[in-house]
């Protein structure tokens, strides 16, 4: 039962994402519900589409990659599995936020953790919110990098992927007198 719900929800999200970008389904559209928001963040109607597919009391887990994290720019030198590799030839850490890195070769939604939170709160109660890899890249946040990144707080810089457990909001039902 759960796997069927997951498959239906994944297809719904992928379909809604395709529709909001006005594109046909392509291989760049992920099939996994927990990664769709990384690509479809500009689609403000997406939370409503997801909520419409859920019954009250059912939770969904969405784990977007946050743009402001060290891996959020999709620079292959800063993918999560490469953050701890010493490589002096790569772009500066968080270079996608300072214009020091070449843009990723995929569509980036550029949403911060706070913006994802605000987007989800339009249709959902956030039951849980946790970083899946807390402090990823902390060793690269030198005093010089911190100065270059002063527009971003540390919660944003270290929010690489955040797991949001969401439950559809209960809507108030108004009963009119007869």
pLDDT on residue 119: 87
Q: DSSP characters for 9-29?
A: HHHHHHHHHHHHHT----TTS
By C-alpha distance, which of 1, 2, 26 is closest to 14? 26
- Write down the domain spans for the chain: 2-168
The backbone torsions φ and ψ at residue 65, rounded to the nearest 5 degrees and listed phi first, read: -85, 130
Task: Please give the pLDDT value at position 8.
Answer: 54
Whether residue 31 is predicted with pLDDT greater than 80 in this model: the reply is no
Residue 85, C-beta contacts closer than 8 angstroms, at least 6 positions apart:
none
Average pLDDT, whole number, for the chain? 76
Please state the pTM of the whole predicted model. Answer: 0.71
Distance CA 66, CA 78 (A): 13
Supply the angle between the helices 113-121 and 46-53 in degrees, to the nearest 10. Answer: 50
Comparison of pLDDT for 77 and 31, the residue scoring more = 77
Q: What is the signed CA dihedral for 94, 96, 102, 106, rounded to 10 degrees?
A: 120
Give 16's pLDDT tier (boundaries 50, 70, 90).
low
More confident site: 51 or 138: 138
Burial of 21 (0-12, 13-18, 19+ CB in 10 A): middle
Asked whether residue 36 carries a pLDDT value surpassing 50, the answer given is no
**b/e 162-172 (16+ beta carbons within 10 angstroms → b):** bebbbbbeeee
Q: What is the pLDDT of residues 91-132, one digit of tens each?
A: 999 999 999 988 777 767 788 999 989 988 988 899 999 999
pLDDT at site 73: 83
Q: What is the pLDDT of residue 68?
A: 93
Tell me the Ramachandran region of residue 140: left when phi exceeds 0, alpha when psi lies from -120 to 50, beta otherwise. alpha
**pLDDT higher than threshold 70 for residue 171:** no
Beta bridge partners of 126: 166
Q: Pick the more confident residue, 59 or 135.
A: 135
Which is nearest to 96 in space by CA: 65, 64, 72?
Answer: 72
pLDDT at site 109: 75
- Kindly tell me if the per-residue pLDDT of 7 is higher than 60: no
């Amino acid at each position: 039962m759960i796997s069927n719900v997951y498959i239906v929800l994944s297809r719904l999200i992928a379909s809604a994402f395709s529709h909001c970008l006005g594109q046909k389904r392509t291989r760049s559209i992920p099939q996994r519900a927990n990664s769709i928001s990384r690509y479809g963040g500009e689609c403000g109607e997406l939370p409503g589409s997801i909520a419409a597919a859920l019954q009250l009391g059912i939770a969904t887990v969405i784990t977007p990659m946050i743009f402001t994290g060290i891996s959020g720019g999709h620079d292959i030198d800063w993918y999560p599995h490469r953050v701890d590799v010493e490589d002096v030839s790569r772009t500066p850490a968080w270079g996608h936020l300072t214009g020091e890195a070449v843009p990723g070769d995929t569509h980036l939604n550029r949403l911060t953790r706070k913006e994802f939170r605000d987007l989800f709160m339009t249709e959902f109660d956030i039951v849980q919110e946790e970083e899946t890899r807390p402090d990823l890249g902390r060793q690269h946040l030198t005093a010089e990098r911190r100065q270059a990144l002063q527009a971003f707080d540390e919660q944003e810089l270290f929010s690489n992927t955040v797991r949001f457990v969401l439950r559809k909001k209960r809507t108030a039902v108004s009963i009119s007198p007869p």
